Amino acid sequence: MAPFQPQHVSPSLTLFLLVAVVVFYGAGTVIQRLFLGPLARFPGPRLAALTRAWAFVQAIGGRQVKHVHELHKNYGPIVRVGPNDLSLSAPEVIPRLYSFKPFLKDPVLYDALNGGKPEGHLVCQTDPETHARRRKHIATLLSRSAVKGYENENLHPKIIKALLPFRDGDFYTAELTFGKVFGCLDAPGFSHPVLDALAIVSDAVPVINWIPWLNSIPRSLVGYQPQMEPVTKLEKFVADAWAAEKAGPEPTEVGHTVLSRLAFLLRNDTPKYRDNVALSEALTMIVACSETTTMAMVSALHELSLNPGIQARIREEVAPLMPDVTKFDDVMEAAVVKEVLRLYPSVPGLLPRVVGKDGLTVRNQFIPPGTVVSMQAWTIHRDIEVFPDPNTFNPFRWLNRSEVELKAMTARFLPFSAGARSCVGEEFAMAQMYLFVGMFCRFCQFAPAPGSDNAIEDNGFTLNCRHHKMLLSIGTAPAVN
Ligand code: HEM
């Protein structure tokens, strides 16, 4: 037999074959996604079924959550929002998805948010054991009484100053994490790298969700270092604080900052692992705590500015209780905070989870293993069955309700998600809001001022109002006897 002789293939034939393969593969993918795949029978926009770029375009335009909500109104409780993604709005699924034995977080989003680092921080950690161990240590720092100590006479003018341009990032979280503050509140014109860093991180979420590997490219290899400078400065602040922590006395179990707790928890791990976890956990703490609580506080001010009667009632009720936020559960302010979180949940959007090997049945429809499913608080909070007139701010809906009614409302109240992966900062966040709203109403009376647009956007994950403005006319509140 003659030996194999390589044949000459002309460049044009090579090009033709390449194009043919791409066209063939593309056409196959389109047919699979639209007609043959297991999710083809679920309703939703055609473009969403074809490509994740659909979600990216929605999120970058600041309207993904509201759009998905509209889709549920049109299509019902199961909507296809990506090639492998479904959004669910059937409330009976909540315990199965998030509470009893939670489905694992979708690695596409959470690994990307984590920068591809295997250690993972609390929000993105996918190993249940590591997650539970670390959460236990951090959770003890975040009780409601932890906030109590922060009330002081000088704080309220500072908070007012900080809230007006919709920025936070300072007053409790840095103290809690590092034992010292960034100084954002004192920066002239609020021009501070930490605030810029938080804005960059928030804007990056849709991009990273769409192109997950972008976040694992070292910053030095790509040409966007100058734009990322605030983030680099924030990272340096965290690194310096961690270096100081390590140089200090031997860590003990009762450390009073997140960093000191981590130093104790990770004392037997390798230095590299210890450093990576501490740095990413501390950064996460700042990011997870900032936009969320700020958004809720801004929303509370907006609604209260339209309701002077409720402001006055809060003023009367909280004056004798201040600053003990552990006593606030039964007063009007608690109903206001709940209603604000119902109407404007700071994390309103899809919290993607992967369906396990047994699949998931929702309203007699089988969802196959490996599908990414999520529920958005924005939609669950607008369930007309239990929240009539759902788009209206009505704190009274939380007061004087029967046990059965309250149970139904609470079951559909998910601002902090639910179960083992719910917000570890829930108590802390509630206490901050009680303290802030209580102090604001106690010292100020306020009304809307002309020029506000009061609009909010979402990045597919969190709400924000950075690109908008709320103007208030603020006066001194009458004294309460
Ligand atoms: C109004 C304020 C807040 C809201 C609405 C909120 C909401 C949420 C939600 C919905 C989750 C689940 C995210 C997911 O499943 O991917 C979460 C997780 C988390 N939040 Fe919050 N959060 C708030 C404030 C805070 C604060 C103040 C802190 C820190 C002090 C914090 C730290 C965290 C952390 C570390 C996680 C991950 C928990 C875990 O997986 O075990 N959050 N938050």
pLDDT digits (tens, 9 = 90+) for 242-298: 999 899 888 877 777 888 888 888 888 899 888 988 888 888 888 888 889 888 988
Answer whether residue 451 is part of any domain.
yes
* Full domain range(s) for residue 35: 13-42
**C-alpha distances out from residue 85 to 49, 108, 372, Å:** 8, 11, 5
Question: Does residue 377 sit in the same domain as residue 453?
Answer: yes
Regarding whether 237 and 345 lie in a shared domain, the answer is: yes
Residue 126 domain-assigned? Answer: yes
- Burial call 353-369: b when 16+ CB within 10 Å, e when fewer: bbbeeeebebeeeebee
In total, the chain counts a number of residues equal to: 481
pTM: 0.89
Nearest Cα residue to 378 out of 425, 412, 335: 412
Domain contains 18? yes
Number of structural domains (the chain) is 2
Question: Per-residue pLDDT for 374 more than 90?
Answer: yes
Check residue 388 and give its pLDDT.
Answer: 96
366 vs 182 pLDDT, higher one: 366
423 is in an annotated binding site: yes
Give the least confident one: 45-49, 272-276, 370-374, 409-413. Answer: 272-276
Q: Which residues pair with 430 in a beta bridge?
A: none
What is the radius of gyration, based on Cα positions, of the chain?
25
Q: Is the CB of 286 under 6 A from ligand 1?
A: no
- Tell me whether residue 2 is in a domain: no
Domain match, 184 and 255 both: yes
Is position 3 within any domain? no
According to DSSP, residue 361 is labeled E
Torsion of CA 255, 415, 443, 328, to 10 degrees: -70
* 38 and 77 inside one domain: no
Based on the fold, state whether residues 159 and 301 are members of the same structural domain. yes
Pocket test for ligand 1, best of 133, 281, 380, 423 (most atoms within 8 A of CB): 423
Tally DSSP H helices, then E strands, for the chain: 19, 11
The verdict on 122 and 252 lying in the same domain is yes
Q: Which residue(s) pair with 366 in the sheet? A: 361
Does ligand 1 have an atom closer than 6 angstroms to the CB of 423?
Answer: yes
* Inside any domain, residue 4: no
Do 319 and 183 fall within a single domain?
yes
Q: Do residues 140 and 265 share a domain?
A: yes
Whether 417 is in the pocket of ligand 1, judged by its Cβ within 6 Å, is yes
**Is 225 a residue whose pLDDT tops 70?**
no
Residues 56 and 34 in one domain: no
- In this structure, the answer to whether residues 36 and 60 fall within a common structural domain is no
User: Domain check: are 29 and 59 in the same one?
Assistant: no
Asked if residue 296 and residue 371 are part of one domain, the reply reads yes
How far is ligand 1, taken at its centre, from the CA of residue 1, in Å? 71
